[in-house]
Structures are given as C-alpha cells and as structure tokens.
Structure 1
Amino acid sequence: MHRFPDYLLKGHANFIAGRYTREKERYRDLATIGQSPTTMIIACCDSRAAPEMIFDSAPGELFVLRNVANLVPTYQPDGGQHGTSAGIEFAVKGLGISNIVIMGHGRCGGISAALNPAPSPLHSGDFIGKWMSMLGGLPDQVGQNDLMTASERQTALERISIRNSINNLRTFPYVAELEAEGKMAVHGAWFDISSGELWIMDSESGDFVRPEL
C-alpha cells in the first residue's frame, strides 16, 4: 500500500499550528455560515501560479477555478460535462460573484504546447489537445510572426488567450446580462512567475499594464 506523502502531512501540521490557529474563528464561521466570496479567479492549474498566494487572500475571499491554460469555453449547454462552465454557473448564480478575473501567467505549458505542436504525450493524449483547440487559429497566427522571438510569441499568445477567454465568457447569457447592468465586472490579468509582477488588462484598450503598488 502506498503511503500518503509525508511532506503533505508535515505541511498540514504546519497549517494547523500556524494559519489555522490564527484564523480558527474565521474557519469556524465559514463552516457554519458558508462562503460568500465576491471575486472568482479563473487560473491555470500550473503549480507555480496559485491565486490564493499571489493575492495573499484569506480563507473564503476568493472562489478559484483552475484548468489547463486558464481557458474559458463558449456557452454550450449541450448536455455534456463541462467543468469550467459548471464552475462559472455556480459562482455567478449560486454565489452572486461580482468580479470574474481570468488570470494567465508566463511560461504556461499549455500555451507552449499550442504554439509548438510537435508530437508529444500531450498531443497524443485523450484530452489536452482537444482542450487547447479552443484557441482555434490563434496559435498559428502568433506562431507565424517571425519578427518576434520565441519568448515574445509565448507571452503574446498567453495574453491574447486571456482576451479570447473573456470574449468566450461573455457568451454566457447571465454574465453578459449582469455586466451590461453594471452588476458584474470581467477582468484580465497576467502573472510573471520569474518576477512576481502582475499585469492588468485595460478594459478599453485590451493592453496589459502594471498597476502601481
């Protein structure tokens, strides 16, 4: 029988002795009253870009949904099993979220695979290739730009993908309705793993800028 990883048990022990002890009442209130976050973060499942750490959030403050390359599909109520769409529906309809942030990050493996579709386990797998096809022709358009370096093309597609996912998010009728009524805001963000910098998408121009700290 396999042993549960020791480092996870040690990490939990540190959590109980540290953060849980300091915030015990908050956790108990969350368990009794339930969660009421106002912001949803749709982020990549990359282990280096955890929203709760990046935004230094307390328990119950963020509703986080993570998938490969932080992609959002278009609204497709076709009876299929759509995990990301289900999370969006619950956040908006169940929790009354007022902000949705789609956060990409530098050196994203999913974006790299989309830009460099050489034969690999990722492309011969059952799910990832199909998932990344959600980007349509964007990887080809960016990848054919010889004026940019490989790293520039990577960053460009990471940010273009965020804008694409925001457009897809707005195909959800209840998201579009709430946004039109001024009851919800949709945001884009990009996190640089190497520097820790957060770049925010300007809602009008679509450009990514660094906010003043």
Structure 2
Amino acid sequence: MQKLLDGIVKFRKDDFDTHKELFSSLKRQQKPHTLFISCSDSRINPNLITKTLPGELFIIRNIANLVPPYRYTAEYVSTTSAIEYAVLALNVENIIICGHSNCGGCDAGLNLPGLLVSMPHTKKWLELARPAREKVLATMNSEDPEAKEWMMEQFNVIEQLKNLWSYPYIRERVNAGTLQLSGWYYIIETGEVFIYDREEGAFGLANG
C-alpha cells in the first residue's frame, strides 16, 4: 500500500504539474476519440501502449477482452452499457479490441469446462469465448499448447469484432463512415502490436 501512496504524491508533484492545463480542460467533460477494450491483465497498460494522455481513451477492461453479443446486452450490462455510452453519448470515432499474448483468460476459455469449478462467475463469463475455442479446435490439428494458445488469443479478437458488429447502432455508424473497428494483438515480451486485416484474414505488424 505504501508504494501506492508514494505514487500519489509523486504524481501530484511531477506528472500532474506537467499536464496541468490538460487536466484543467478535462474538469467538466471528456471527449475520447477511442473506445479501447482490453484484458484486465495487470501487464496491459492501454495508455502506455498507445502513448495517449488522459481524456483520449475510454477504456473497458475485463477478463479476456470479451464483448457480449448484442442479444446478451441485458445479461452482461456492465460491459454492454459502457459500449453503449462510449458510442451513443461520447461519440467515439474508433473501437479497438486489444488481445494479448499469454492471456490467462483465453487459456481458461480454451480449456473449459474443466477449469474454474470454484469460480462460477468467471466460468460463466468465459462462456463468451466458446466460439473462439470451437474455431481453434476445428482448425488446429497440432497438440502444441503454445500454438493453441496463440491461435485462441487471436481468434478471440476476431470473434469479439464480430460481436461488436451485432450491435445495430455500431453497424449504423460504421456504415456511415463515422466509426472504425480494429482488432489488435499485443505481444508482452516484445512490445509489438499486430493489427487484424479483414481482407487478408490475418494479423500484420503495426509499423506506422
């Protein structure tokens, strides 16, 4: 706890003072340009990865960066209400689904129903990853656990993009050219980000 308290003091003395005008402009409103949906994993820092400042990203974090399909909006209201607010109230211009390497949530989702017996809520949440799991099992013949892990993490990003498309108000804005969807895959140990190319059906390294 002391480390966190020391961090508060350091932030106020250093970072806050550096960006004092920015924080002043954010006093009454926010105008983020991007909804960033990422995993709750402690190794993922959306602002650090994208070099963005406070006020730029509206961030949703959950286990395995999942998006409930539109038909489940009332069942998983924490995530779906945040998506709704970002698009309809904040008018974000982009939605990014950002998966990552060595994702514990994806690993658990791949190995359902054997895991998480003692965590029923987590198990229910990870049922949303079942379509990605089924695609991995149908596509991959190899028993290599690392290869399955990587495929699961990437297929999961693609499936969540499909789920976003099931939201009528998202489809409407994408078709109107006012909203862009993107799928990212972040490699923790290298810092590389791969972006899904829908036409190619593959992830390519982001290089500016």
Q: TM-score, normalised by structure 2?
A: 0.93
Please state how far the C-alpha of 1:40 moved relative to its aligned partner: 0.8
Q: Does 1:93 align with 2:63?
A: no
Note if contact 2:135-2:155 (Cα within 8 Å) is conserved in structure 1. no
State the alpha-carbon separation in 2 of the partners of residues 77 and 103 from structure 1.
21
Please state how far the C-alpha of 1:204 moved relative to its aligned partner: 1.8
Please state how far the C-alpha of 1:109 moved relative to its aligned partner: 0.5
Q: Which residue of 2 aligns with 1:210?
A: 205
Q: Which residue of 2 aligns with 1:61?
A: 56
Please state how far the C-alpha of 1:175 moved relative to its aligned partner: 0.1
For this pair of structures, how many residues does the alignment match?
Answer: 207
What SS does the aligned partner of 2:26 have? helix
Q: Which residue of 1 aligns with 2:9?
A: 13
Q: Does 1:22 align with 2:15?
A: no
State the Cα RMSD in Å.
1.8
Please state how far the C-alpha of 1:123 moved relative to its aligned partner: 3.5
AA aligned opposite 2:61: R
Per-residue CA shift, 1:41-98, capped at 9, x if unaligned? 0000001011011111111011111000000011136644511100100000010011
Q: Does 1:75 align with 2:70?
A: yes
AA aligned opposite 1:13: V
Q: Which residue of 2 aligns with 1:197?
A: 192
AA aligned opposite 1:173: P
AA aligned opposite 2:127: S
Q: TM-score, normalised by structure 1?
A: 0.91
Per-residue CA shift, 1:149-183, capped at 9, x if unaligned? 21111011101011100101111100000001111
Q: Does 1:134 align with 2:140?
A: no
Note if contact 1:163-1:206 (Cα within 8 Å) is conserved in structure 2. no
Note if contact 1:41-1:100 (Cα within 8 Å) is conserved in structure 2. yes
Q: Which residue of 1 aligns with 2:173?
A: 178
Q: 2:35 aligns with which of 37, 40, 46?
A: 40
Note if contact 2:30-2:55 (Cα within 8 Å) is conserved in structure 1. yes
Identity %: 33
Name whichever of 123-132 and 193-202 sits farther off: 123-132
What SS does the aligned partner of 1:123 have? coil
Q: 2:98 aligns with which of 100, 103, 107?
A: 103
Note if contact 2:136-2:155 (Cα within 8 Å) is conserved in structure 1. no
Change (3 A) 1:40 1:137: closer
What SS does the aligned partner of 2:120 have? coil
State the alpha-carbon separation in 1 of the partners of residues 164 and 141 from structure 2.
31
State the alpha-carbon separation in 2 of the partners of residues 123 and 209 from structure 1.
37
Note if contact 2:70-2:163 (Cα within 8 Å) is conserved in structure 1. yes
Change (3 A) 1:161 1:179: same
AA aligned opposite 1:191: Y
